Structure 1
Amino acid sequence: MAHNQFALLTQRRFLPFFLTQAFGAFNDNVYRQAIIGLLFYLGVDDAQRTLYTNLAPALFILPYFLFSATAGQIAEKLEKHKLIRITTSMEIAIMSLAAVGFVTQNMTILLIALFGTGLQSTLFGPVKYSILPSVLKPEELTGGNGLVEMGTSIAILTGMIFGGLIFTLAGTHGPVVAATAIIVLAVTGNLVSRMIPRADAGEPDLKIQWNPIPESVKIMRMTRRQPAVRNSVLGVSWFWFVGTVLTSQLPGYALTNLGGDPTLYIFALALFSIGTGVGSMLCERLSARTVEIGLVPLGAFGISAFMIDLYFARTGAATATGLDVAAFVRSAGSWRIMIDLVGIGLFAGFFVVPLFALIQNRSPKNELSRVIAGMNIQNAAFIVSAAVLGVVVQRFLHWTIPQVFLALAIANALVAIYIFTIVPEFLMRFLSWVLVRTLYRLRVSGVEKIPDEGAALVVCNHVSYMDALILSASIPRPVRFVMYYKIFNIPVMSWIFRTAKAIPIAGAKEDPEVMRRAFEEIDAALADGQLVGIFPEGALTKDGEIAAFKSGVERVLEKNPVPVIPMALRGMWASMWSRRSNRAEGGWLDRMRVPRRFRAAIEVVADPPQDAAGVSAQSLEAQVRALRGDRA
């Protein structure tokens, strides 16, 4: 039965948490937009409104710098359901104070409460993402993160619209309506949070250190331990940088370059938010329910491509002014701009969701909350940098908004290239993902049984020159494949194999030195807690049948008694790159032909890990035969 990620929204382990975080994001934005509405209601001058628009974001972001380290420790120590109830109870208290500010029309109280909402968000942030691996299966992480990002995008957008309309529709009753709305939303969020099931603490015996400076340094180091996690955190922070620059420029862009009235800004933001939500939701389908970081380069370069096109779509000021949404849609060139905004959001979803899933998947479970807290500190720094840079390039360098978009697109591409250079796994996974899903219709089952960490040996039948690439695109963790050295040296493909740190091997009679080095690399990789993949047949099948497994697998397990994961490839014999040929004397061009059906349907299946004790080449061969079944 096909899995539908929306099924999570019918389950208690996910739905109450999803609604709680959505209510929180919605209420935050209702509150902030209602303050802007109050400023217009009070008739304050432009100078006071400018002071607020600069002071408010600073007050909201400041707690992330001051308290993230403490928040990460608290989220690690406390049972997660309990902490979520505490933070939503805080929200009720903070919004009650804010309600007093609305009723008395006191901006000082409202700004103090705004600082409080930043503090509450700081405490909620680490548990928001660290709870997902506790309540979701590994194969559900991408879909769950996609739903959370989609829900957050919609909540932010609708919250801004609702908060912005309060004083427009309620008139003189605006302050009371705003006060009532934010309290009702906070209470609702708290009531829903009480239905979240228990989720155990990551490190219940952790002793909390209250000095924020050394703890901030400590958790920032924690985020940098593993290169893939470190650069995923960097990628998420860069996502916030790009998003901050883009969304902060949209009001001016809608007014000056699109010729719109105030409603057009919300429409432009809605297009971006809808794109982000759709992109987030598509991640699970595109990744075949694994943590597919191959989508990250696709997302990064897609963002740049659409942002460059946005620059060329409208490089100067609009010829018309005061356009509402309907008038803008009817104007020349509007559809290109709308598609670009949706496209930027779509590829932003492709970019950020796999990064969140990788951070959750690869971080030690007893450190995840602190890693998220460290990421939040870095996110805050990038958001502030984006805001400052936006002001500098426009006020001092006199860049137009389209020029800011173009510069951001180029910077985004350069940062992406930098990240993929220092962590080639991202780009290698992207190339594997593109190649495999272009050439085949791939179905994957059982890979969720592969452990998230620790050494293990993957064994599989060997049908084609693409086998290692297909398994790499199917298994969420990096795998060090042992492959015949002549396959390893195939032009173009060899770059991917080297980037993936594949281990070339030769027969003992063919090149004993290559064989010796291969076994040394296998031993070192398993000792380091890595996954190693081998094809125990020792060569591609010549007739589609599984050949006898050689004793090399026993030699590896004798020295490294790690768990063994039997896997099987189905449907590969009739596909390209196998040795099957229609001609009795066919050469390599015949063997590498395009299959009769474009994008042949293939399948990768896996059994649960088994203890190395008692495993033999013969028993593994029998398991792989049973896994493959009759579908060669």
Structure 2
Amino acid sequence: MTQALGAFNDNVFRNALMFMLTFKAVDALNVDINIVMNLAAGLFILPFFLMSGWAGQLADKYEKSRLIRRIKALEVVIMLLAALAFVAEFWWGLIALVGLMGAQSALFGPVKYALLPQHLAEEELVSGNAWVGMGTFVAILLGTIAGGLLSAQPTYWAALCILVIALLGRLAAQGVPQAPASDPALTIDWNPVTQTRKVLAASKQDAGVFWAIMAISWFWFLGIGYLTQFPNFTREVLAANQTVGTLLLTLFSLGVATGAMLCDRWSRGRIELGMVPLGALGVAVFGYGLYAMAQVIAAEPAPELARTLVDFWDIPEARWFMLWLALSGIAGGLFIIPLYSYVQRHTPETRRAQVIAALNVLNSLFMVISTAMGILLLSVLQLSLPQFYLIFALTAVPIMLASVRRLRDPFLRFLAFLISHGIYRVRHHGLSHIPDTGPALVVANHVSYMDAVLLMGACQRPLRFIIDKEIHDTPALKWLFEICGTVPISSERVDRRNFQEAFSRVADALDQGELVFIFPEGRLTPDGEIQTFRRGLERIVKTSPVPVIPMALSGLWGSWFSRERGRAFAKTPRRLWSRVDVNVGEPVPPDQVSAAELEARVRALRGARA
């Protein structure tokens, strides 16, 4: 609640001010409105760059709930000054106060994110971040709406609103639970330059964490570019009034909140980094859609008066524009939530707040770069606003390619999860039997050509599949199997060399702590029943003594991908979104492994339903 009220108030203040500057004060300021908007954005960002090092140290040294209450008291003082400036219509003073709000936010950021892991278990962290993210963006949504509405009213209404919300936020801070200091003996370095270097060095100690920080910073580069120009984009390109601008910002905020909730639902209590490449791809694709629709809308004859919401809705391309904007927000939510969770979970508690401070420093640096890019592209190069948005959206392409390269296995696993859950109503049982680390051999019955996709999507760790070499070498699919790291195997009678190489590759994978998967039946079932398990799995375990995890699939017999009624894919699908169960049994120690025993266990797991 404390975070939500802060986000709400921040957005009421900044959106009311941005719309007032664009629609009311533009003539009084006598300065190019693009420069004013970028200046305000730069003032908000600058404190993150200068003060995040201090903020991280304070959050690690002191008890966090008391620190939060003091920071919220500072917000009350700043909003009191802003209220007076609104009443006096002191526009340059309000622009300066944007910088003070940035300072308050810079102090609040590290303590906010460092507090969550102290109160949430590992399996709750993604959900916690998703709820914080959703609450934040709902608050942003409401603040955006309120700011837009207040901008059209006398300025004293905005003054009253921001002061009351600041007081409510300070009251809510009384309920923040205690969170002990992570490093009470820490000596604070008040030199912003040396401390910034220290927190940046701390963030680089884990390459994965630093990569996640850089990806998050790119997202803020994109976000500040989008949001800073939106009031002017609404007026100049869409030829619309504040109500339309408020609606569009609302749609984007709702999209991010929806993405956060989808992240919670799809993560299943784990940090699912496979969403990150998909989110970046969505930002690029939907960003291009925004550009295309904006170009069409801008080509419409300019109305004498700014378009109202009804006028805007009457333009067919405007409805597409709103859809692409909401989808861009959803993609952003899928991108950002797993990365924040990863940074929190993989940073030691004693320096977590300082690493989050480093995140804020880099966020602010990227936002400054974004602001400078806005000035360069719009004021110097004189590009149009749709072109500006297109260039920013296309920066997602290299981010997507880099994240696919770095997160190949999580990305493929997440795609398998989406595909399998899009086709079937999948239920998982016993997934806790799959260890988080360490090697194991996984076996299951083979019912359909969708089995591997279902199993890949069910398991939170990458599976290295052993598959028939003839299928592996299918021209249309070989590239995919090679990307997935599958191990092709032939019968020893057909290709003895490949047979030996396959077992050698499996042994190497197990030695490296991987999960290796095999269908011991060696082929799809022709009648829905489990066929005799072959003894190749015994040879694998004899060479590499690892536990064997039995799994069973039920509900797939009769699907379009099975051999029921003849060949797969050669019949008309009869069942849509049918229920499928993925059951996992307890690991079998290597000294108890036999093909017959594992076949019996898989039969018991599957039950009577094929």
TM-score (norm 1): 0.78
Shift of the 570–382 alpha-carbon distance from structure 1 to 2, 3 Å rule, reads: farther
Q: Any idea what SS the aligned residue of 1:459 has?
A: strand
2:257 corresponds to which residue? 277
Amino acid at match of 1:218: A
Q: Tell me the alpha carbon deviations over residues 154-187 of structure 1, each in whole angstroms, 9 at most, x when there is no partner.
A: 1113224445666876755865x35742441332
Tell me, yes or no, if structure 1 residue 135 matches structure 2 residue 112.
Answer: no
Pick one of 90, 101, 105 that aligns with 1:114.
101
Shift of 1:272: 1.6
**Whole-Å Cα distance in 1 between the matches of residues 225 and 373 of structure 2?**
8
Is residue 97–residue 113 contact of structure 1 (8 Å, CA) maintained in 2? Answer: no
1:310 corresponds to which residue? 290
2:465 corresponds to which residue? 481
Tell me, yes or no, if structure 1 residue 605 matches structure 2 residue 590.
Answer: no
Pick one of 366, 370, 375 that aligns with 1:386.
370
**Whole-Å Cα distance in 2 between the matches of residues 52 and 591 of structure 1?**
61
Is residue 462–residue 535 contact of structure 1 (8 Å, CA) maintained in 2? Answer: yes
Is residue 13–residue 158 contact of structure 2 (8 Å, CA) maintained in 1? Answer: no
Q: Any idea what SS the aligned residue of 1:604 has?
A: strand
Is residue 73–residue 206 contact of structure 1 (8 Å, CA) maintained in 2? Answer: no
Amino acid at match of 1:135: L
1:61 corresponds to which residue? 45
**Whole-Å Cα distance in 1 between the matches of residues 573 and 409 of structure 2?**
29
Tell me, yes or no, if structure 1 residue 492 matches structure 2 residue 468.
Answer: no
Shift of the 344–69 alpha-carbon distance from structure 1 to 2, 3 Å rule, reads: same
1:261 corresponds to which residue? 241
Amino acid at match of 1:498: E
Pick one of 73, 80, 95 that aligns with 1:93.
73
Q: Tell me the alpha carbon deviations over residues 282-307 of structure 1, each in whole angstroms, 9 at most, x when there is no partner.
A: 34556677655555454444433333
Shift of 1:314: 3.4
Shift of the 592–380 alpha-carbon distance from structure 1 to 2, 3 Å rule, reads: farther
Q: Any idea what SS the aligned residue of 1:323 has?
A: coil
**Whole-Å Cα distance in 2 between the matches of residues 237 and 435 of structure 1?**
30
Is residue 144–residue 249 contact of structure 2 (8 Å, CA) maintained in 1? Answer: no
**Whole-Å Cα distance in 2 between the matches of residues 294 and 356 of structure 1?**
14
Tell me, yes or no, if structure 1 residue 185 matches structure 2 residue 168.
Answer: yes
Amino acid at match of 1:117: Q
Is residue 113–residue 356 contact of structure 2 (8 Å, CA) maintained in 1? Answer: yes
2:232 corresponds to which residue? 252
Q: Which runs of 5+ in 2 are unaligned?
A: none
Shift of the 571–246 alpha-carbon distance from structure 1 to 2, 3 Å rule, reads: same
Shift of the 512–401 alpha-carbon distance from structure 1 to 2, 3 Å rule, reads: same
Q: Tell me the alpha carbon deviations over residues 307-343 of structure 1, each in whole angstroms, 9 at most, x when there is no partner.
A: 3333332323661132333443345643233223223
Q: Tell me the alpha carbon deviations over residues 533-581 of structure 1, each in whole angstroms, 9 at most, x when there is no partner.
A: 3334444444433345455545555665656543221123323444x34
Shift of the 386–36 alpha-carbon distance from structure 1 to 2, 3 Å rule, reads: closer
Shift of the 113–406 alpha-carbon distance from structure 1 to 2, 3 Å rule, reads: closer
**Whole-Å Cα distance in 2 between the matches of residues 287 and 246 of structure 1?**
28
TM-score (norm 2): 0.81
Shift of 1:435: 4.4
Pick one of 211, 215, 232 that aligns with 2:198.
215
**Whole-Å Cα distance in 1 between the matches of residues 370 and 376 of structure 2?**
10
Amino acid at match of 2:175: V
Q: Any idea what SS the aligned residue of 1:314 has?
A: helix
Q: Which runs of 5+ in 1 are unaligned?
A: 1-18, 584-588
**Whole-Å Cα distance in 2 between the matches of residues 173 and 343 of structure 1?**
33
Amino acid at match of 1:310: L
1:28 corresponds to which residue? 10
Shift of 1:269: 0.8
Shift of 1:403: 1.7
Shift of 1:390: 1.8
Shift of 1:480: 2.0
**Whole-Å Cα distance in 1 between the matches of residues 233 and 569 of structure 2?**
56
Shift of the 219–145 alpha-carbon distance from structure 1 to 2, 3 Å rule, reads: same
Q: Any idea what SS the aligned residue of 1:483 has?
A: strand
Q: Any idea what SS the aligned residue of 2:383 has?
A: coil
Shift of 1:400: 0.8
2:330 corresponds to which residue? 346
Q: Tell me the alpha carbon deviations over residues 330-369 of structure 1, each in whole angstroms, 9 at most, x when there is no partner.
A: 4564323322322322333344345555666777888876
Is residue 460–residue 568 contact of structure 1 (8 Å, CA) maintained in 2? Answer: yes
**Whole-Å Cα distance in 1 between the matches of residues 550 and 2 of structure 2?**
41
Is residue 66–residue 212 contact of structure 1 (8 Å, CA) maintained in 2? Answer: no
1:628 corresponds to which residue? 606
**Whole-Å Cα distance in 2 between the matches of residues 124 and 69 of structure 1?**
12
Is residue 71–residue 108 contact of structure 2 (8 Å, CA) maintained in 1? Answer: no
Q: Tell me the alpha carbon deviations over residues 422-477 of structure 1, each in whole angstroms, 9 at most, x when there is no partner.
A: 54336534653464345544333433554444444433233334322221122232
**Whole-Å Cα distance in 1 between the matches of residues 16 and 74 of structure 2?**
15
Pick one of 432, 441, 445 that aligns with 1:461.
445
Amino acid at match of 1:616: V
**Whole-Å Cα distance in 1 between the matches of residues 67 and 184 of structure 2?**
21
Is residue 72–residue 126 contact of structure 1 (8 Å, CA) maintained in 2? Answer: no
Is residue 308–residue 406 contact of structure 1 (8 Å, CA) maintained in 2? Answer: yes
Amino acid at match of 1:405: Y
Shift of 1:256: 1.0
Q: Tell me the alpha carbon deviations over residues 97-154 of structure 1, each in whole angstroms, 9 at most, x when there is no partner.
A: 31453476594994674243133233235426646xx62563x665554433322211
Amino acid at match of 1:118: S
Is residue 469–residue 490 contact of structure 2 (8 Å, CA) maintained in 1? Answer: yes
**Whole-Å Cα distance in 2 between the matches of residues 496 and 236 of structure 1?**
29
Amino acid at match of 1:21: Q
Is residue 17–residue 151 contact of structure 2 (8 Å, CA) maintained in 1? Answer: no
* Larger displacement relative to structure 2 (57-66 or 490-499): 57-66
Q: Any idea what SS the aligned residue of 1:582 has?
A: coil
**Whole-Å Cα distance in 1 between the matches of residues 352 and 197 of structure 2?**
18
Shift of the 129–457 alpha-carbon distance from structure 1 to 2, 3 Å rule, reads: farther
Which residues of 2 match residues 41-80 of structure 1 at below 5 A? 45-46=29-30, 53-66=37-50, 68=52
Q: Tell me the alpha carbon deviations over residues 34-75 of structure 1, each in whole angstroms, 9 at most, x when there is no partner.
A: 77799989x974559988755553344334434556766776
Q: Tell me the alpha carbon deviations over residues 72-112 of structure 1, each in whole angstroms, 9 at most, x when there is no partner.
A: 6776x689xx52x1442132231243145347659499467
**Whole-Å Cα distance in 2 between the matches of residues 30 and 221 of structure 1?**
36
2:111 corresponds to which residue? 124
Shift of the 116–86 alpha-carbon distance from structure 1 to 2, 3 Å rule, reads: farther
Q: Any idea what SS the aligned residue of 2:427 has?
A: strand
2:408 corresponds to which residue? 424
**Whole-Å Cα distance in 2 between the matches of residues 561 and 260 of structure 1?**
69
**Whole-Å Cα distance in 2 between the matches of residues 276 and 393 of structure 1?**
26
**Whole-Å Cα distance in 1 between the matches of residues 576 and 158 of structure 2?**
62
* Larger displacement relative to structure 2 (493-502 or 363-372): 363-372
Shift of the 178–416 alpha-carbon distance from structure 1 to 2, 3 Å rule, reads: same
Q: Tell me the alpha carbon deviations over residues 198-253 of structure 1, each in whole angstroms, 9 at most, x when there is no partner.
A: 7x99x87997895534433433424524xxx6665554333323322222221111
* Larger displacement relative to structure 2 (452-461 or 206-215): 206-215
1:7 corresponds to which residue? none
Amino acid at match of 2:68: T
Shift of the 143–527 alpha-carbon distance from structure 1 to 2, 3 Å rule, reads: same
